[in-house]
Structure 1
């Protein structure tokens, strides 16, 4: 397969920029509110995408479908980014990446109830394992505590999972590029309620902080989502691309240490390991079982 026809370079670019977003979000939240970071990040992304849409002469959605784009923007970008930022204020970048990495499984779980897609026994077991990992994440200093940051992040993961379900409807009539672009536009439109606060905070910001916002908007949002869409368009199976999300916790932890010297605590290490184990079983359990069965039969 030629590199131009492979989804892997595009998926890898996305995961790098998304992993960087966990770290940079923690940094900018020291100088901006969670609401301002949300608006400024997607405002920059929208400005970038406007240029691309004009260059590509992208067709606008049908009027009858505008409500669905508004809904996807509200759920996937407005609710998600506010919950994500509020959660990132209170937990480490590595912990936030572990929680958001559960989105593929949450999406599958919601699909089970909404679209009646079947889950196999080992997948239900994986969900139980992940739930145990989330419980361990709440054990700060050996004491069970209700960490508000973790609750916000779980809400963010639910919002992103709901957005994935909306994608299934929109992708029947529109390209992945159109869906991501116009959903971001819709989310940014709703986020303009935080425009006055954002303007006040920008006036007191240092140039380096504005640079971080630009990186989040251009690279971790606009380019990342476009690369993600491109990867899906080139992949034969969606799991080939979505499985890259499982790399984000490790990469985020490394970037967090290199950029901010952030070291994950023991609850994050143990809880995160258990959650990643659940993710592995959910996605590769059947393949591993079949391989073991073939080895036994051949011997």
Structure 2
């Protein structure tokens, strides 16, 4: 039996894990800006996933977690191929073909798709506060993107690629959620990352040739993407996802555009205008609204059937 303090502590850890995720995913903006100028979309995705797979694989060995249970593999495979593989390539490629405003509008459809798919396939329902908050955050993300747009124009291919990124992100999250009933967040992330890396192996030749031509800073940014926004952030994401609904986790990622504005200001000396700041505030306000109320996940005893926490040590 878990007392009230234990439930509150577990909830606080989940919020902390989700916070780590959104901060690191926001930091990826700076790294992708640099690395993307010297690496192709597929090569950058492969290099990032390779670094992430190595780091996660070593951690799995140190913790002796072994292979996930058979019941977890379908979700791991689907999320690995769609979210770690297709999503990263499509996003890297699509953002080279569209302006920032279009990318913000299209890619940020992803969390809305997560809420819809989660409500339908995972039986999470459609809490009014969640949907209202996501609407506010989506408007904020659009404002941020449009205000930061350089007017570079957009292509039909770029829009399609961003749509593919949004759809595969949503499908990957919804597929990952059931896998966390049987395997640990580290197992789900490590083997999902490995599946994505295998899918990107056709870009190995391009990666090898571009490593020799790219500046050291771009390669270091690529490794950073693999170690932190991928290995660490996806693991903390899985930890938090195991303890809440997919819809609420998707809504949390709307904090990323606001953090990108702040990091661009601090790291890239890109001073945001009032419209950009207003959009960032809208994003955060929407996240706050979406996390109010809603249906809570039933708590289960670690190691019991359907538990998100196997009895084995992590």
Q: Which residue number corresponds to residue 228 of structure 2?
A: 219
Alpha-carbon spacing, 1:71–1:239, altered in 2? closer, same or farther (3 Å): closer
1:260 to 253, 268, 271: 268
Aligned residues: 285
Q: Which residue number corresponds to residue 34 of structure 2?
A: 27
* 2:122 maps to 1:119: no
1:13 to 13, 20, 23: 20
Higher fraction of helix: 1
Q: Which residue number corresponds to residue 59 of structure 1?
A: 66
Alpha-carbon spacing, 1:13–1:68, altered in 2? closer, same or farther (3 Å): closer
How far 1:231 moved relative to its partner? 4.3
Contact 1:123 1:282 survives alignment (8 Å)? yes
2:86 to 57, 66, 79: 79
Q: Which residue number corresponds to residue 47 of structure 2?
A: 40
2:257 to 243, 249, 253: 249
How far 1:277 moved relative to its partner? 5.9
Moved more, 15-24 or 199-208: 15-24
1: distance between equivalents of 2:138 and 2:186?
33
Contact 1:38 1:191 survives alignment (8 Å)? yes
1: distance between equivalents of 2:104 and 2:155?
19
Gaps of 5+ in 1: 288-299
How far 1:166 moved relative to its partner? 0.6
Alpha-carbon spacing, 1:223–1:118, altered in 2? closer, same or farther (3 Å): closer
1: distance between equivalents of 2:122 and 2:226?
33
How far 1:150 moved relative to its partner? 5.3
Alpha-carbon spacing, 1:256–1:120, altered in 2? closer, same or farther (3 Å): same
Q: Which residue number corresponds to residue 190 of structure 2?
A: 181
Contact 1:22 1:96 survives alignment (8 Å)? no
How far 1:251 moved relative to its partner? 1.1
Cα RMSD, aligned residues only: 4.1
**1:127-206 → structure 2 map (5 Å cutoff):** 149=158, 151-206=160-215
Q: Which residue number corresponds to residue 108 of structure 1?
A: 115
How far 1:134 moved relative to its partner? 7.8
1: distance between equivalents of 2:41 and 2:171?
21
Q: What TM-score results when the alignment is normalised by the length of structure 2?
A: 0.72
- SS state at 1:168 partner: helix
Contact 1:42 1:217 survives alignment (8 Å)? yes
Moved more, 58-67 or 121-130: 121-130
Greater RCO, 1 or 2 (C-alpha within 8 Å, sep 6+) = 1
Gaps of 5+ in 2: 296-314
Alpha-carbon spacing, 1:14–1:215, altered in 2? closer, same or farther (3 Å): same
1: distance between equivalents of 2:279 and 2:156?
14
